[in-house]
């Protein structure tokens, strides 16, 4: 499906938000789309960053290598064409669980589906723990209500905690039972699941989406 680009908003030198036509496609927060340059065969999966009620799509993109889909996307201009596939995936919050308490844990751009959750369901009772290297990677942190977002920063002295997400969880055990959603690299997800299970969290209440 062809979609026209609205604009690109760079957050850091290598991470940007790409906004484009939604074309009235329905989706559930937590789903992803395949996106690439119109007329090219190369596409990559990106979690949807925008909310369910927004009249546009947004994805959060990190430029990872050269040449790559992400590099090509970073060079798009307003009016250029994307090629996307319909939203897919099952990493979402059931409608009958929206009144539960949630813990969202991500590293890097793995925060994208949680941004969509919160834009879509502003009444959610949530806490986000976000593992990043530098504080400028706290992508759009102003979206999250005061006290809801905790940055775990490894490469500078800013942020709420200096160290990895796993170190934070060991130092500050989470005693309140919540539904846990994890998004990021497989090592982080596996380590966090182990730590939370040891702290008494039920593995059946943990849901994950692995970013490669």
Average pLDDT rounded to a whole number, residues 89-108: 95
143's CB contacts (< 8 A; 6+ apart) are: 115, 118, 119
Whole-number CA gyration radius for the chain: 17
Torsion, CA 179, CA 182, CA 130, CA 174, rounded to 10: 40
**Does a structural domain hold residue 89?**
no
The CATH number that applies at residue 40 is 2.40.30.10
pLDDT digit string, tens, across residues 141-190: 999 999 999 999 999 988 999 999 999 999 998 877 899 999 999 999 99
Residue 114's pLDDT is 98
Same-domain pairing of 36 and 106: no
56 and 105, same domain (yes or no): no
Average pLDDT, the chain: 94
Measured distance CA(188)–CA(184) in Å, rounded: 7
- pTM listed for this prediction: 0.94
Q: Where are the alpha helices (DSSP H) in the chain?
A: 69-74, 112-120, 165-171, 186-198
* More reliable by pLDDT, 106 or 67: 106
Q: 80 with 134, same domain? A: no
- Whether residues 150 and 102 share a domain: the answer is yes
- Asked if residue 100 and residue 7 are part of one domain, the reply reads no
Question: Taking Cα atoms as reference points, which of 5, 17, 1 lies closest to residue 76?
Answer: 5
Residues 151 and 119 in one domain: yes
Is residue 32 within 8 A of residue 87, CB to CB? The reply is: yes
Q: Does residue 90 form part of some domain?
A: no
76 and 7 together in one domain: yes
Same-domain status, 101 and 202: yes
pLDDT top residue among 66 and 103: 103
Place of tokens 């499906």: 1
33 neighbors 22 (Cβ within 8 angstroms): no
Domain that holds residue 202: 95-210
pLDDT of amino acid 68: 86
Q: What's the pLDDT tens digit per position in 20-69? A: 999 999 999 999 999 999 988 889 999 999 999 999 999 999 998 776 89
Residue 129 has pLDDT above 80, yes or no: yes
Share of the chain above pLDDT 90, in %: 90
pLDDT band for 212, please (50, 70, 90 cuts). low
pLDDT at 91 over 70: yes
Same domain, 194 and 99: yes
Residue 115 lies in a domain: yes
Instruction: Give yes or no for residue 72 having a pLDDT over 90.
Output: yes
Return the pLDDT at 4.
Answer: 97
122 is a domain residue: yes
User: Within a domain: residue 26?
Assistant: yes
More confident residue, 76 or 64: 76
Q: Indicate the residue among 63, 84, 105 that finishes a domain.
A: 84
- Rounded mean pLDDT, 77-81: 96
- Report which secondary-structure segment, H or E, holds 9: strand 2-10
């Amino acid at each position: 499906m062809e979609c026209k680009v609205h604009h690109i908003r760079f957050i850091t030198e290598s991470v940007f938000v790409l906004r484009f036509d939604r074309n009235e496609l329905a989706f559930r927060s937590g789903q992803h789309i395949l996106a690439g340059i119109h007329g090219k065969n190369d596409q990559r999966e990106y979690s949807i960053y925008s909310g369910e009620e927004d009249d546009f799509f947004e994805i959060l993109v990190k430029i990872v290598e050269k040449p790559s889909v992400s590099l090509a996307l970073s060079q798009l201009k307003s009016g250029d064409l994307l090629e996307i596939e319909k939203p897919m995936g099952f990493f979402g919050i059931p409608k009958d669980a929206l009144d539960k308490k949630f813990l969202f844990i991500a590293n890097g751009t793995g925060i994208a589906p949680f941004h969509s959750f919160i834009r879509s369901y502003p009444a959610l009772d949530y806490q986000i723990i976000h593992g990043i290297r530098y504080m400028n990677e706290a992508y759009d942190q102003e979206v999250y209500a005061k006290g809801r977002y905790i940055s775990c920063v490894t490469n500078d002295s800013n942020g709420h905690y200096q160290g990895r997400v796993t170190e934070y969880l060991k130092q500050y055990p989470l005693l309140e039972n919540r539904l846990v959603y994890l998004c990021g690299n497989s090592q982080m997800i596996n380590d966090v699941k182990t730590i939370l299970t040891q702290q008494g969290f039920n593995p059946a209440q943990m849901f994950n989406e692995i970013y490669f």
